[in-house]
């Protein structure tokens, strides 16, 4: 297929999403569903424009998923305006740590007894499939503000955190596989380095860099009228610095990037003496960007809004790229009779049990708990960890099994959640909130 046709089809897809957005909403189709179908069309199952063999191109596919994940995590961090020590974080934290661990355990048990996988492979499968996605379920994305809806906040927080908390379980699965092959494995090293330090260190590195760089930019803007503009560079630079620094410290880069976004949007102005607020919201008529961006009452809000606006656009491109890539990868999944029961089990057994156990004792309505139990959408994180495992040299037969299970689960999740998200959120918003649900 020639390059002009490739460009033509890509452009038609982008323009179609702009023109047909309202119609797709009426048809209960999410943008991710369209991207998935388009990816399949241009992949080896359709026109053959791209042939992304996961066994031979795991490095490239993994890098694409990695970049997309970093963009989405930073964007989610910028949106979550609840203070870091607020009690409302209890729900997302329990989902991301307790429910995550329970999910991995349940999937591992199913993998061993239902799919016949060895222990290491079953744990690895759990680590790959356990993370939820904070972006693909766009209809339940949290809104920016100090008092967000708890359902949206919990799902966004869980999705952002558990992309990092899945890492120790993926490493555990790989270590158990290596041990089976004769390599040594230290439980204490895994607990101390991969589990505790990776999580705590990632948050500390990211939060520290986000706060430091954010305050430096605000100081230069308000006191010296410097470092104004190029907010896109600030966004990409902070993502790269937080991720790179965390990786060098053997901490979770994903948690670091999320924490950097959280910290950046918490940076506060220090108004200069003798100055007053302009009395207008960021971007209001009558005030040029240069005036507001350097004003000591508005500089941090302008900085955060500009970075968030840029990242929100990047997030859409990242979603398009990765989900289309998943669609193109689908022909590489092989037929497996176990899929007919494995995927429904993930939806109606694993996720509800993990959520119920992880949030036991947490205040919330029955409706909200049921919605959280359903909207555990799988996506970019699972693709990244699948490629991560393949790049680490797992056996080809096991790699093929993981490819089939992961692609089938992610695709089914995109379809099921994409179709159900609008009617369920409409129902959720219409019903009165009450402890009885």
Distance CA 267, CA 307 (A): 13
Assigned token pair, 92 = 């997302």
- Please tell me the predicted confidence (pLDDT) of residue 437: 42
* Cβ atoms of residues 110 and 348 within 8 Å: no
> In the chain, which stretches have pLDDT less than 50?
280-284, 433-437
- Please tell me the predicted confidence (pLDDT) of residue 327: 94
- Please tell me the predicted confidence (pLDDT) of residue 28: 66
- What lies within 8 Å, CB to CB, of 202 at 6+ separation is 164, 246, 251, 252, 253, 254, 255, 256, 259
Q: Provide the H-helix boundaries in 296-395.
A: 299-329, 339-345, 351-358, 366-374, 380-391
Q: What pLDDT digit, counting tens, does each position of 188-198 carry?
A: 888 998 899 99
- What lies within 8 Å, CB to CB, of 393 at 6+ separation is none
- Please tell me the predicted confidence (pLDDT) of residue 79: 87
What structural domains does the chain harbor? Answer: 3-430 (1.20.1530.20)
Distance CA 38, CA 40 (A): 5
With 0.85 as the threshold, say if the pTM is over it.
yes
- Look at the chain and count its residues: 437
Q: What pLDDT digit, counting tens, does each position of 207-223 carry?
A: 999 999 999 998 888 88
DSSP string, 92-153: HHHIIIIIHHHHHHHHHHHHHHTS---HHHHHHHHHHHS---SSS-GGGPPPSBSS--HHHH
Q: What pLDDT digit, counting tens, does each position of 5-60 carry?
A: 767 777 877 787 777 666 666 666 778 888 899 899 988 988 888 889 999 999 99
Chain centroid offset of residue 335 CA: 28
């Amino acid at each position: 297929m020639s390059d002009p046709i490739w460009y033509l089809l890509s452009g038609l897809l982008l323009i179609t999403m702009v023109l047909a957005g309202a119609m797709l909403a009426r048809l209960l189709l999410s943008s991710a569903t369209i991207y998935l179908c388009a990816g399949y069309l241009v992949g080896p199952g359709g026109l053959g424009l791209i042939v992304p063999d996961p066994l031979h191109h795991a490095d490239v596919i993994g890098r694409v998923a990695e970049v997309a994940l970093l963009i989405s995590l930073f964007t989610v961090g910028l949106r979550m305006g609840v203070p870091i020590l607020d009690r409302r974080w209890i729900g997302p934290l329990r989902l991301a740590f307790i429910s995550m661990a329970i999910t991995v355990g349940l999937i591992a048990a199913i993998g061993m007894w239902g799919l016949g996988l060895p222990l290491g492979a079953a744990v690895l499968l759990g680590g790959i499939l356990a993370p939820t996605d904070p972006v693909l379920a766009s209809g339940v994305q949290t809104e920016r503000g100090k008092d967000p809806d708890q359902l949206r906040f919990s799902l966004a927080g869980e999705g952002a955190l558990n992309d990092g908390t899945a890492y120790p379980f993926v490493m555990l699965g790989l270590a158990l596989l290596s041990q089976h092959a004769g390599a040594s494995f230290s439980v204490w090293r895994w607990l101390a380095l991969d589990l505790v330090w990776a999580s705590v260190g990632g948050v500390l590195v990211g939060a520290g860099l986000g706060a430091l760089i954010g305050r430096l930019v605000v100081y230069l803007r308000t006191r010296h009228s410097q470092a104004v503009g190029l907010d896109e560079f600030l966004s990409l630079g902070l993502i790269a610095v937080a991720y790179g620094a965390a990786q060098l410290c053997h901490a979770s880069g994903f948690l670091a990037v999320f924490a950097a976004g959280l910290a950046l949007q918490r940076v506060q102005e220090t108004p200069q003496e003798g100055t007053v607020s302009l009395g207008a919201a960021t971007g209001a008529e009558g005030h040029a960007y240069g005036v507001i961006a350097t004003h000591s009452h508005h500089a941090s809000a302008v900085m955060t809004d500009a970075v968030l606006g840029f990242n929100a656009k990047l997030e859409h491109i990242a979603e398009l790229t990765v989900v289309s890539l998943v669609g193109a990868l689908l022909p590489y999944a092989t037929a497996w009779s176990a899929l007919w029961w494995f995927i429904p089990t993930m939806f109606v057994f694993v996720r509800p049990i993990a959520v119920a156990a992880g949030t036991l004792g947490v205040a919330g309505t029955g409706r909200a708990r049921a919605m959280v139990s359903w909207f555990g959408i799988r996506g970019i994180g699972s693709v990244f960890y699948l490629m991560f495992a393949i790049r680490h040299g797992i056996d080809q037969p096991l790699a093929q099994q993981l490819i089939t299970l992961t692609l089938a689960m992610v695709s089914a999740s995109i379809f099921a959640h994409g179709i159900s998200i609008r009617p369920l959120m409409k129902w959720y918003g219409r019903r009165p909130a009450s402890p009885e649900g």
